[in-house]
Every structure is written in C-alpha cells, then in structure tokens.
Chain A
Amino acid sequence: MNVDSGLNLMAACYGAGALSALLARWSGRLALSVGHLATLAGAVVGLGVSLSVLLGAPGRTLTQPLPALFPFARLSLSVDGLSAYFLLVISLVAVAAAVYGPAYLRTYSPDAGPARQATQVLALNVFVGCMAFLCCAGDAMTFLLFWEGMTLASYVLVVSDDRDGENARAGLLYMVMAHGGTALLLVAFLVLTERAGAFDFAALRAAAGDLDGTTRTTLFFLALVGFGTKAGVVPLHVWLPRAHPAAPSHVSALMSGVMLKVAIYGLLRFAFDILAPVAGPLPSSWGWTVLVVGTTSAVLGVLYALQQHDIKRLLAFHSVENIGIILIGVGLAMILWRREGVGGVLATVALTAALLHTLNHAAFKGLLFLGAGSVISRTHVRNMEELGGLARRMPWTAGLFLLGAIAISALPPLNGFVSEWLTFQALLGGAGRFHGPAGLVIVFSAAMLALTGGLAAACFAKAFGVTFLGRPRTAHAEHATEAPPSMIVGMAWLGALCVALGVAPGYAMRLLDAPTAGLLHGPGASAVVTARGPMVLSAGLTASGTAATAISMTMVTALLIALTAIAWVLRRGSRRGPPRAAPTWACGMSPTSRFDYTATAFAKPLRFVFATLYRPRREVIRETAGTPYVVRRIHYAGEVVDLAETQIYHRVQRGISSLSQSIRARSTGRIHGYIGFVLAALFVALLLFGVDQ
C-alpha cells in the first residue's frame, strides 16, 4: 500500500467515524454501528500502512506535511520502523475493539440514550485516531497535540458511563495525573525546541547533539516521569487501576493494551532517537533507573493485582506489571547499547524482547479485557466473588479467557512466554558481562521477573477459577448466557494472535527488524534472534563465541500436541461411555456455592507471606445477643493498601490541604491585596530571570 494515501485514508476513516456520531440524532444504534465500522476500516488501513513499511525496504522514513495550523510550527507526519510497529500494535487491538464494541455497548447498557452513544462513538474514533497518528508524528507540536487529544478522548470514555459517581472521581484523578505528566513532557520538548528553533524531530535531534550531560540527563528524567505517568509505572500508577475499569470494556482493552504502549513509544523515541548522544553509550543512570523502575513495577503490579476482586481492576494492575516487564527490556537495552566490550547484539535482544512484549501484552491484555467485558455485559457484576460457574454457561468466553490467562502468566507455548524468555536471555547475557554489583542488580531483576511470572500464574488461576469455574454464587451468574457472536469474533482475533505469536514467533521477528535496526543502528532483530531460521529463537552469540541458548516454540508445541493425543488415548481408559456424575465431595454435606473457595480465601496465604507490602487491615465486628457466646452476626471487612497511595499520595494530599489552609488565611477577598501579590510575584520573577538580559 502507498503510505501517503494510506495515512490520508486512515484520517478519513477516523474522521468519518467521529462524524458518524451525528447519526445519533436519528438512531443511536445506527451511530454505534457506523462509528465502529469506521474504526474498523481505519484500523485495517493502519494495518496495511504499518505492514507495508515494516516489510518494505528498510531504513525508509516517509514524511508527509500537514496543513499549517500554526504560524510558528510546521506540522508533519513521519513514518519510520518504530512508528509503523506501534501503529501495528494499535491497529491490531483496534480491529478487535471495533468488532466487539457495538454488541458490547448494546448489551451492557441497552437503555443508553443517543447522546451517550454519540459521545462514545465520537470519543472512540478520536481516541484511536489520535493514538495512531501520535505514533506517526514528525514533530514535537504534532506529537503533543495528538498526545493531548488521546488523553482528552480517553477521559471522555472513562466518564461516559455516567450512572456511577465513582467513574467521575476516577476520571478526575486520571485527568490530573495525565496533565501533570504532560506538563513535564512540555518542558522537556520545549527546552529542545527553543534550542533548535524548530519543532520537527530532525531539528530537535541536531539540537540535542550539543547538549551538555547534565541537561541531557535532566531532560531524560523529565520525559521519563512524563511518559511514566501515562504508562503507569510504580509509583505513578495510582490512576490506572481506577480509570481503566471505569471505561467500557473494549475501551479498557484499548487503554490497557495500547495507550500505555504509546507512552513506551514516546520514551523510546525520545531517549534513543532524539536525546541520545551522537556517539557513545547513553548515560548509565538512564538505563539503570529504567531497569529498577521496571522491576519494581512488575513485582508490585502483580502483587497488588493478586488482592483485587474486581476483575477489571485486577487486569488493570496486571498492566502495571507488564509495563514493568517491557521497561526491564528497555532499560537493559539502554544499559547495553553501544557499550564497549559488551556487544550491541545483546542490546538488540533486549530491545526485541521489550518490543515483542509490547505486542504480546496488547494481544493478551486486550483479549482478557474483552473476556471480562463479555462476563460483565451478561452479569453486570465486576466482583469475582459474585460470579462463578460461567464456564458451563459461556464456554467460548471461558476458553478464550483461559487462553489469555495462560499467555499472560508467561507459560509455554503461548506468546507471553516467548517475550519473557527473550527478556531472561538478555538479562542473563547482561549479567555475564557486567561483573560486580551491576551484574548482581541484573540477576536480581531476573529473579524478580521469575517471581512476577509465578505470581501472575497464581493470580490468573484465581481470576479464571473463581470467575468461570465451580458453582455460580449469585443469580446474576446463574442466568448468564453466552456473548453474541460478534463479541466472540473480536476475542478470537486476539486469541489467534496469542497462539500465532507463541507458536511461530520467528515470523514476527521480521516485523521487528525495522524498529530495532532503526533505533539501535545495529543488526535487526531477525539477524540476531532468528539467526538459525524462523523456527528457532536464539539469544545471539555469547562473548566466547559459542552458540547461545535456542528454543523452538513450534517444536515444543508439536511435542505437546503429540503427547496430548497420546495422553488422551490413555485417559479414555478401557471403559467406554460417559463419566458418571456425582456431587462434589464435601465431607458428607450437600455442597452449595458457599463451599467454593473465594478469591479472598485463595489469595490469603500470599497476603500473609507479603504482609509487609500489603499492610493488610481486617476488622471483625461481632453482634452478640447478651452473652459473648451467642453470636448473632459477624461483620468482616478486610483490605490491603497500595503503599504508593498511602505513603506518597496521601502525604502529598495532606501537604496540599494544609498549604491551601494557610493560603486561605491570606485570602481576604479585597482586590488590593491580590494586586499586591501579583506585583510581588512579578518583582521576584524579574529579579530571578531578568538578570541575564
């Protein structure tokens, strides 16, 4: 496909989708259908554009000027390998969301008025369109405009379900945090644009070449906090588990699966492309910080996810975890890139792992959010403790959710394992080359990654088991029925992606060639990772020149399938006929759904083991009848706290409150006083900044 016309067509699709909100004047249903169809078309065009760039001639950068909206900045789009790769990730999930969306919105809120439907269609198209074009931005102005558009549109979607006051609060927190991050990004970009005198990335790159070390590192950390807020790294994640569940489920899939990745795109673009020194490695503080932040996010994200009972909140915390895993790869790539004697090949492996995990996480997290959405649209319950027994009632949803659960737990033979395996290999290779404490940090991070994988498996055994297995715990779950076909198709698309990327990951390496080679100016992913053919993944060569570890997911899968067939024959046994059904053994009592293990109970041992981090609080109130021996009712409440929230945010909140209290004393309501303050502020500003001139 011709990239220029593709971009135009994509803009037309998303624009038409946004305009189709007007159809809601006549029929809300029509607006929903047309709007999502336009999103689908835009996503399919996006797929075409990105594939043609990724599979086309390497090293090409296509630039397309945009209408001159501002006199001081020329707006433009520019598509290179990295842009195209993230456009691919966005489009893949957007296809699923667009197919899934209309049926979901209709079944979840059948009584929604046309106004809400129009808002959702408009915001969805703006949201997806902004993300898609953000990755293609060719200058800082375009980048920031689309960044803001993405934030505003997703805010609208978060609060679009207006029946719930909780959503409005979640939206407010999201808005504040997102703009705090954007403010830092603005500073980082404007410092560069001021030096460059222009907005386009090429000029910024040239301007960044003359920066001294301190400024460069300061700008990087500003950008890291700015992008980190959007990506939801610990401790900047507090908005994420509130805002993501509040949005409609297919939008949650987009926010968790894709929007966080856009922040990763921004970080990669800013650090490796724009801000990197002309020659030599990146300052070592960058990579180590990112590595440590990533490890922390991965472990804390999954630990907090374990204690959640709201299925969408649980998934949102897992996004924090997976962003952490991606950042481990990114950090390692930063550490290893262009470092003498350590070898650029390993940096390529690390970046490949991070980028592959970006795609993988988009696929399985999208799938899991859509699966959770199917459950919620049928039961209107988000609390797992009120569900159960859905595997018999919604077999397709259950099967696909299990697929996603296996993938996210990094278990073979699905895609989550592949990218974590690559991350492990990169970590191991890095540890072998850095001696001393640095090597130990890397190895410790590998151990934490292993812990994360184990905890994720525990978490998803709980999430899947409590939601889908056992007996239904409430009437909502009892009367659930399978989701409509279009929703299943949306999930199956992402499920197929999880299987394909798990079983034949070698073919995906071709897509990673352009971004890795473009960013690191070294060998592409497939030259390193699939040096032995597309069926075999290997982690490059070791320092001593011996062949490093290799696995073939295809062969493992073939082996698993063959063994399953043999085991199935064994399982059938010599007796034919269906199994006899009998009630579950409950020590002689007749079992009810109260006998099923709950999510709280399942996660309780881990709550004890990690009590230092959870600070669990439990409250038991007994209502007794006169004597303490006759208990009428027991009220139990338990909760775990998010350490970041209590230790950082609550303190900041208290600080702001007391500050505003003290300001209130000076705020007399008389205008003279205010004018005095303004003058004083001006005087101080002149003293501080006017000296140079």
Chain B
Amino acid sequence: MMTGERSLGLLLFEMTFLVLLGPLVTGIIQKIKARIQCRQGAGVLQPYRDLAKLFRKGTVQADTASGLFRLIPVLVLAATVAAGALIPVVRAGPPSFPLGDALLLLGLLALARFLTAVGALDAGGAFGGMGASREMTLAPLVEPVLMMVVFSTAVAAGTTELGALAAQRGTSWVLAWHAADFLGFAAMLVLLPAETGRIPVDNPDTHLELTMLHEGMLLEHSGPGLGCMLLASHTRQIVTLGLVSALFFPIGPANGADAAGLLLGVGAFAAKILVLASYLALVESSYAKLRLFRVPQFLGIGFVCALTALALRIL
C-alpha cells in the first residue's frame, strides 16, 4: 500500500464537505444571476430548503415504470457522491488510498449520467426520452474533450491521479502557466456550462421541451427521489468545479494536518469555487441558450483548444 499524503478520513471529510456545499454553490449562482438581472432573488440557502421539502414529501410514480425506477435516484446519487471522494479539496498529494484517478472520476460521472438517462426512459413519456436522447448526444461530445484536457496536464506529470496533478501545480499561480495550460483552461471554460448543465448548453430553470436536457430526465421523479436527483446534480456541479480547480489552480498551502491548515485549505477551495461559480452565473446571464444542433459547434471550440493544448505538450 502506497504511503500517500491524504488519509482515508480526510478523503471522506472532503467528500462530505463537497456534498454539503453543493447546494450552496447553486444558491450562490442563482443569487448572482438574480442580482445581474436586477432582481432580489431567493436566498442562497433556497436549494437546501427545496431539498428539505422534497425529502419530507411522498412519492408519485408513473404506473408504467419498472422496479428499476425507484432505484435510479439512489444509484445516481451514490455514483455522483463517490466521484466527489476523488477530488482533492483541502490538500494536494496522492491519497493513501488508491482513490483519486481522474479517469475513474469521469467514469463515475458517466455512470450517473447513464443511469439518469435509463431512468428517464423508464416512465415512458416523450419528455423523458427527449431529455435522455439529447443528454446522451452531448455527453459523448463533452467527455473526450474533458479527457483531453485532463491528458494535457497528465502527460507532463505522467499520472492521472488528481492529487498528484494538483501537487504538480504546487502553489504557483498563473505566472508559472505554460501556454498549454491557458489553452486547456480555455477548453475547460467552454466545457463547464455543458458539464454543469447550464446556458448556453442547457437551461436548468425550465421544463420547456425546446430547451431542456437534464431537467427533462427528472420530470417523472418526485418526492425524495427527486430530492436525490437534485442533490446529485448539485454535487455534480461542485465536483466539476473542483476538477477544474484541482487541474488548474494551486491548492491551498496546507502542509500540516492541523486545524489551521485545514481551515486555510477549505477557505482557498471556497474562493476558487466562488470564482468559477461567478463565471457560470455571468455566462448564464449574458448569453442565450444555443439551439441543440449548434451546441456541437460550440463544443468544437473546446475540442480545438484541448487538442492544441495537447499538441503543445507533446511536440
């Protein structure tokens, strides 16, 4: 067994931290959006209230759905939260447990997405099928680019372990960036709205059939099941943001495992997430949603950036 720098306890702490913080990020994005649109908006804690409400409610289930349908929210939430365990939050360095591989992270997120799509087809409505079809159309276009961005940093480090990649980044900031880093980061900025299901790729605020992707798949879930699905999408969002910050931003200089170092790490992480969340809110307020068949072209920008980043690394 490898002697890593992050113990299992820290890993589980980071995972819980991400899950608990996930809804807050959504709340903050909604609040920033509201202020940009000159509205008061709901409080930043609104997503927590929504979740609490949903978990208290009963369930209504489509009469055509199979036994699998009740299991889907549980499995989706479990897969997404498990992905959260792989993100280095407060400290860099490889974990003492072999849990932290970027490909495994992407695999777990893909598993959650696959199960969501399967659940959407279960109820047998056109909306679910439409949402699933669109989501599964865009996912194969996003995943390779995401993987190429990961590779563009991983080729230099010789590993896809996120903790090790973050450690490689060290505490250096933009001044130490390679040209490939800028391009990779640009690709990531293009991918972020797609991966978190936001404008211009998806619209999280609507159930209108013309615009929805992810929301369409949740239409038949209700009560605690819907609560699980929502919690999963909050977690997915913060995990994606965490992946970007682990790949491109230096991780807090928390050398010791003492409380002060831990606090500093948490603070640094919160700051990074806040920056990325404001970016998402800004993009969402200033752009319209793209037509579905324009999205591949939009993602194409990310692909070109990622490919160039990789080429710069290798050539």
User: Are B125 and A431 in contact (CB-based, < 8 A)?
Assistant: no
The reply to whether the CB of A268 lies closer than 8 angstroms to some CB of chain B is no
Complex partner residue of A567 from B74, B85, B137, CB under 8 angstroms: B74
B57 within 8 A of A: yes
A549 and B151: CB pair below 8 A? no
Cα A551 to Cα B110 with chains together (Å): 17
**Which B residues touch A406, using CB under 8 A?**
111, 114
Q: Could you tell me if B293 and A412 are in contact, using CB atoms closer than 8 angstroms?
A: no
> Using an 8 Å CB-CB cutoff, how does the interface string of A407-421 with B read, 1 for contact, 0 for none?
001111000010001
Q: In the complex, A552 Cα to B8 Cα: how many Å?
A: 13
Task: Give the chain A neighbours of B155 by CB distance below 8 A.
Answer: 428, 431-432, 439, 443
Known: A443-B314, A458-B139, A586-B126. A532 touches B1 (CB 8 A): yes
Q: Chain B residues with Cβ under 8 A from A568's Cβ?
A: 74
Stretch at the interface among B32-40, B156-164, B237-245, B275-283: B156-164
Interface flag for B79 (CB, 8 Å): yes
Q: Quick one: given A402-B68, A581-B62, A582-B61, are A605 and B147 in contact (CB under 8 Å)?
A: no
- Collect the chain A residues with CB atoms within 8 Å of residue B64's CB: 389, 470-471, 583-584, 591
Q: Residue A559 at the B interface, CB < 8 A?
A: yes
B98 touching A555 by the CB < 8 A rule?
yes
Of A411, A436, A580, A593, which one neighbours B110 at CB under 8 angstroms? A411
- B77 to nearest A CB, angstroms? 4
Chain B contributes a number of interface residues (CB within 8 A of A) equal to: 89
Q: Is B144 touching A572 in the complex (CB atoms < 8 A)?
A: no
Asked if A596 meets B107 with Cβ closer than 8 Å, knowing A543-B158, A548-B158, A579-B59, the reply is no
Chain A residue numbers with a CB within 8 Å of B101 are 421, 549-551
Residues of A within 8 A of B314 (CB): 431, 434-436, 439-440, 443
Select B220's contact among A389, A455, A460, A584, beta carbons within 8 Å: A584
Chain B contacts for A556, CB-based, 8 A: 82, 99, 104, 108
B224 lies within 8 A of chain A by Cβ: yes
Interface string of A445-469 (1 = CB under 8 A from B): 0111011011101101110111011
Chain B residues lying within 8 Å of A582, measured Cβ to Cβ, are: 60-63
Does B143 have its Cβ within 8 Å of any Cβ on chain A?
yes
Asked if B73 and A571 sit within 8 Å, CB to CB, the answer is yes
The answer to whether the Cβ of A267 comes within 8 Å of any Cβ in the partner chain is: no
**Contact of A573 with B by CB under 8 A:** yes
* Distance A574 CA – B224 CA, assembled complex (angstroms): 9
Q: Which of A457, A542, A575, A603 has the most CB of B within 10 A?
A: A457
Contact mask A509-552 → B, CB, 8 Å, 1/0? 00000000000000000000000110011100011101111111
* A574 lies within 8 A of B56 (CB): yes
A550 x B55 contact (CB < 8 A): no
Residues of B within 8 A of A425 (CB): 160
The listed residue with most B CB atoms (<10 A of its CB), out of A538, A575, A579, A583, is A579
> What are the residues of chain B within 8 A of A457 when measuring CB–CB?
110, 113-114, 136, 139-140
> Counting CB contacts under 8 A, is B21 at the interface?
no
B259: CB under 8 A from chain A?
Answer: no
In the complex, which residue of chain B has the Cβ closest to the Cβ of A607?
B137
Q: Shortest distance in angstroms between B129's beta carbon and chain A's nearest beta carbon? A: 2
Nearest CB in chain A: distance from B210 CB, A: 14
Chain B residues near A470: list those with CB within 8 A. 64, 121-124, 129
CB-CB under 8 A from A608, the residues of chain B are: 293
A580 touches B59 (CB 8 A): yes
CA separation between A469 and B77, bound complex, in Å?
21
Across-interface contacts of B124 in A (CB, < 8 A): 388-389, 469-471, 584, 591, 593, 595-596
Instruction: For B103, list chain A residues within 8 Å (CB).
Output: 421, 424, 549
Contacts of A659 in B (CB 8 A): none
Q: Which residue of B lies closest to A435 (CB)?
A: B314
Q: Which of B96-147 contact A (CB under 8 A)?
A: 97-99, 101, 103-104, 107-108, 110-111, 113-114, 117-118, 120-130, 132-134, 136-137, 139-145, 147
Cβ A409 vs Cβ B74 within 8 A: no
A465 to B142, CA, bound (A): 22
How far, in angstroms, from A411 to B83 measured CA to CA in the complex?
13
B66 interface residue per 8 A CB criterion: yes
A601–B151 touching, CB < 8 Å: no
Give the distance to chain B from A540, nearest Cβ to Cβ, in Å. 11
Contact between A585 and B125 (Cβ–Cβ < 8 Å)? yes
B87 located at the interface, meaning its Cβ lies under 8 Å from any Cβ of chain A in the complex: no
When the two chains form their complex, are residues B140 and A555 in contact, meaning their CB atoms are under 8 A apart? no
Q: Distance (Å) between the CB of B206 and the closest chain A CB?
A: 15
Q: Which residues on the B side are within 8 Å of A417 (C-beta)? A: 104, 107
Give Cα A399 to B66, complex, Å. Answer: 11
Distance from A607 Cβ to chain B, minimum over Cβ atoms (Å): 10
User: Looking across the interface, which residue of chain A has its beta carbon closest to that of B8?
Assistant: A555
Contact with A440, one of B136, B225, B311 (Cβ below 8 angstroms): B311
**In the assembly, what is the distance between CA of A573 and CA of B99, in Å?**
30
B223 within 8 A of A: yes
* Min CB–CB distance B142 → chain A (angstroms): 8
B176 within 8 Å of A by Cβ?
Answer: no
Q: Is A391 an interface residue (CB 8 A)?
A: yes
Residues of A contacting B97 with CB < 8 Å? 552, 555
Q: Give residues 555-581 of A contacting B (CB, 8 Å).
A: 555-556, 559-560, 563-564, 566-568, 570-575, 577, 579-581
Are the CB atoms of B61 and A428 closer together than 8 Å? no
User: In chain A between 447 and 498, which residues have their CB closer than 8 angstroms to a CB of chain B?
Assistant: 447-448, 450-451, 453-455, 457-458, 460-462, 464-466, 468-471
Count A/B pairs, Cβ under 8 Å.
Answer: 309
The number of chain A residues touching the other chain, given as a range, is: 35 or more
The answer to the question of A81 belonging to the interface, with a C-beta cut-off of 8 Å to chain B, is no
A573 to B59 alpha-carbon distance, docked (Å): 9
Q: Which residue of B lies closest to A466 (CB)?
A: B121
Which residues in B have their C-beta under 8 angstroms from that of A536? 1-2, 98
| Residue in B closest to A583 when the chains form the complex, CB atoms | B63
Q: With an 8 A cutoff between CB atoms, is B296 at the interface?
A: yes
Nearest A residue (CB) for B161:
A549
Query: Using an 8 Å CB-CB cutoff, how does the interface string of B214-242 with A read, 1 for contact, 0 for none?
Result: 00000110011101100000000000000
Measured in the bound complex, the distance between the Cα atoms of B160 and A500 in whole Å is 25
Nearest B residue to A429, CB-CB: B158
1/0 contact trace for A592-604 toward B, CB 8 Å? 0101110001111
A392 within 8 A of B: yes
CB distance from A68 to the nearest CB of B (A): 53
Min CB–CB distance B292 → chain A (angstroms): 7
Q: Say yes or no: is B58 at the interface (Cβ < 8 Å to chain A).
A: yes
**B228 & A570 in contact (Cβ 8 Å cutoff):** yes
Indicate whether A469 sits within 8 Å of B1 (C-beta atoms), given known contacts A570-B227, A583-B63: no
Q: When A440-B315, A552-B97 are in contact, do A597 and B140 touch as well, CB less than 8 Å?
A: no
Query: For residue B227, which residues in chain A have a CB less than 8 angstroms away from its CB?
Result: 570, 573
Q: Which residue of B lies closest to A388 (CB)?
A: B124
CB within 8 Å of A: which B1-59 residues: 1-2, 55-59
Does B166 make an interface contact (CB < 8 A)? no
Q: Which of A469, A533, A555 has the most CB of B within 10 A?
A: A469
B273 to chain A, nearest CB (A): 22
A22 interface residue, CB < 8 Å from B? no
Q: Which of A388, A552, A604 contacts B98 (CB 8 A)?
A: A552
Contact A564 B78 (CB under 8 A): yes
For B122, give the chain A residue with the smallest CB separation.
Answer: A469
The residue among A439, A542, A597 with the most chain B CB atoms within 10 A of its own CB is: A597
Question: Is residue B81 within 8 Å, beta carbon to beta carbon, of the partner chain?
Answer: yes
Of all chain A residues, the one with the shortest Cβ separation from B97 is A555
- A436 to B315 alpha-carbon distance, docked (Å): 4
Complex contact A571–B225 (CB within 8 A): yes
Given contacts A532-B1, A546-B158, A563-B77, contact A580 B61 (CB under 8 A): yes
**B262 interfacial contact with A, CB 8 Å:** no
Cβ-defined partner of B77 (8 Å) among A443, A546, A567, A605: A567
State A491–B197 Cα separation when bound (angstroms).
37
B148 at the interface (CB under 8 A from A): yes
In the complex, 7 of the A-B residue pairs with CB atoms within 8 angstroms, ordered by the A residue number, are A411-B110, A421-B103, A436-B315, A451-B141, A536-B1, A536-B98, A597-B130
For the complex of A and B, the 5 pairs showing the least CB-CB separation, nearest first, are: A597-B129, A454-B140, A465-B121, A470-B124, A542-B158
